[in-house]
């Protein structure tokens, strides 16, 4: 039988104390009114002061070695901190991409100079990164990117348009996937490279793509002949596809793939308990949801353990994201059915959390690779295609 998910790694005992510290910190932040829990806080709640406070406590860049300004702690310790922050709906969007995947990518492929330049700032919560992958005609078909990297004296010139670039209007750096050479015959994955683009740059235009609510998270980013010196290539020219797909395992399996609507579920359970309102059917529905959530957490931990061992668990990561993002959406249905409340943006408690969850839910199964694409990854691993 094909084994798709690696064995679960039990969390080391010392993570219990760390978890308690993070809970204490979150409790103090809430008591001081420094944030209100939000659904999808890792995408929607940008708060640079909060990121800096996390950095000051050593809860960013946790797996970055001390020599580069990090904490030299384990991936599982980072997991514990991350899941506590997400479960609380804390505002973690500012540092999210940099801490989750840019730091590991720099550690793996970056030059000494790039590591020295960016990693300490990421660990302090002071360096934010936008991901320049998707384009108007290349989302799922990432190998079809049309942004060109032309060789020029001393470096490269990037020309093209990226789209859905979350946080690019605040970011200090963009990581850009571009075509730097021709495909190798029919292999379009060859000839792609990754570049680090410092922002702002006069040759980079960042335009908002607003949500219906007017919120500004996404952008269109136009690269108009931006010059990138050779020392800002990330990794090896031509190896962009391999590097980006390795990053995706970090992007697809974390607790953010099943906890985006957890603050809503948490509030719902508390409210029903307080009101003594949950009948047997309601309790069974909640039990079913929480049991599946727990299973997903075990799967996600299994992937985290595999990443920590240096494995590349892309298939298990794809499974976690597919199942997890569907559960995130189901939590909304459960809340609507069990709580007699209307969604109300900006309202405290359940109505506001419900409104946020509904607003952001269309993106859950799209971002980081759509669920249809992920099922293709799983089907291939099962030998079905």
Q: Can you give the binding site for ligand FAD, defined by CB under 6 A?
A: 43, 131-134, 139-140, 164-166, 363, 366-367, 369-370, 372-373, 376
Q: Which is nearer to ligand FAD, 49 or 141 (CB)?
A: 141
Closest listed residue to residue 248, CA positions, set 107, 110, 100, 360: 100
Q: Which is nearer to ligand FAD, 140 or 295 (CB)?
A: 140
C-alpha atoms less than 13 angstroms from C-alpha of 189 in its C-beta half-sphere: 6
Q: Which is nearer to ligand FAD, 73 or 321 (CB)?
A: 321
The minimum distance between CB 244 and ligand FAD, in angstroms, equals 10
Taking CB positions, which residue lies at the least distance from ligand FAD?
Answer: 139
Both tokens assigned to 385? 């295609």
The minimum distance between CB 98 and ligand FAD, in angstroms, equals 12
Q: Which is nearer to ligand FAD, 76 or 192 (CB)?
A: 192
The minimum distance between CB 376 and ligand FAD, in angstroms, equals 6
- Give the C-alpha separation, 149 to 155, whole Å: 9
The minimum distance between CB 373 and ligand FAD, in angstroms, equals 6
Query: Which residues, 6+ apart, have CB-to-CB distance to 372 below 8 Å?
Result: 140
Q: Do 259 and 87 touch, CB atoms closer than 8 A?
A: yes
The minimum distance between CB 187 and ligand FAD, in angstroms, equals 17
The minimum distance between CB 355 and ligand FAD, in angstroms, equals 17
Q: Which is nearer to ligand FAD, 164 or 250 (CB)?
A: 164
The minimum distance between CB 31 and ligand FAD, in angstroms, equals 31
Q: Which is nearer to ligand FAD, 26 or 93 (CB)?
A: 93
Both tokens assigned to 275? 């009101």
Q: Mark residue 3 as left, alpha or beta (left: phi above 0; alpha: psi -120 to 50; beta: remaining).
A: beta
Q: Which is nearer to ligand FAD, 349 or 376 (CB)?
A: 376
**For helices 75-87 and 15-31, angle between their N-to-C axes, nearest 10 degrees:** 30
The minimum distance between CB 116 and ligand FAD, in angstroms, equals 26
Q: Which is nearer to ligand FAD, 89 or 132 (CB)?
A: 132
- Give the C-alpha separation, 346 to 356, whole Å: 8
């Amino acid at each position: 039988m094909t084994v798709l998910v690696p064995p679960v790694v039990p969390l080391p005992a010392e993570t219990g104390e760390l978890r308690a510290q993070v809970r204490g910190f979150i409790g103090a932040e809430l008591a001081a009114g420094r944030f209100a829990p939000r659904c999808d806080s890792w995408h929607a709640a940008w708060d640079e002061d909060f990121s800096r406070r996390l950095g000051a406590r050593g809860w960013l860049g946790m797996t970055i070695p001390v020599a580069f300004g990090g904490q030299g702690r384990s991936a599982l310790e980072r997991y514990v901190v991350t899941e506590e922050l997400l479960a609380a709906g804390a505002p973690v969007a500012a540092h999210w991409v940099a801490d989750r995947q840019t730091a590991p990518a720099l550690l793996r492929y970056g030059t000494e100079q790039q590591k020295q330049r960016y990693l300490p700032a990421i660990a302090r919560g002071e360096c934010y990164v936008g991901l320049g992958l998707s384009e108007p005609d290349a989302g799922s078909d990432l190998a079809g990117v049309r942004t060109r990297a032309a060789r020029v004296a001393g470096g490269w010139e990037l020309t093209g348009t990226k789209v859905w670039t979350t946080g690019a209007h605040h970011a200090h750096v963009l990581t850009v996937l571009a075509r730097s050479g021709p495909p190798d015959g029919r292999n379009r994955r060859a000839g792609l490279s990754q570049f680090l683009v410092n922002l702002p740059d006069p040759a980079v235009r960042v335009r908002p793509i607003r949500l219906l609510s007017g919120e500004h998270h996404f952008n269109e980013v136009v690269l108009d002949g931006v010059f990138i010196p050779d020392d800002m290539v990330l990794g090896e020219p031509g190896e962009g596809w391999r590097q980006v797909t390795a990053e995706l395992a970090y992007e697809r399996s974390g607790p953010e793939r099943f906890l985006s609507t957890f603050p809503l579920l948490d509030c719902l359970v508390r409210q029903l308990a307080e009101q003594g309102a949950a009948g047997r059917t309601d309790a069974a529905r909640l039990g079913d949801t929480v049991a599946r959530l727990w299973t997903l957490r075990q799967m996600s931990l299994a992937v985290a353990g595999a990443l920590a061992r240096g494995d590349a668990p892309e298939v298990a990561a794809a499974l976690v994201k597919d199942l997890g993002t569907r559960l995130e959406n189901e939590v909304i249905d459960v809340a609507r059915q069990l709580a007699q409340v209307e969604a109300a943006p900006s309202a405290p408690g359940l109505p506001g959390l419900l409104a946020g969850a509904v607003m952001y839910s269309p993106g859950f199964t799209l971002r980081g690779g759509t669920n249809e694409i992920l099922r293709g990854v799983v089907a291939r691993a099962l030998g079905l295609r």
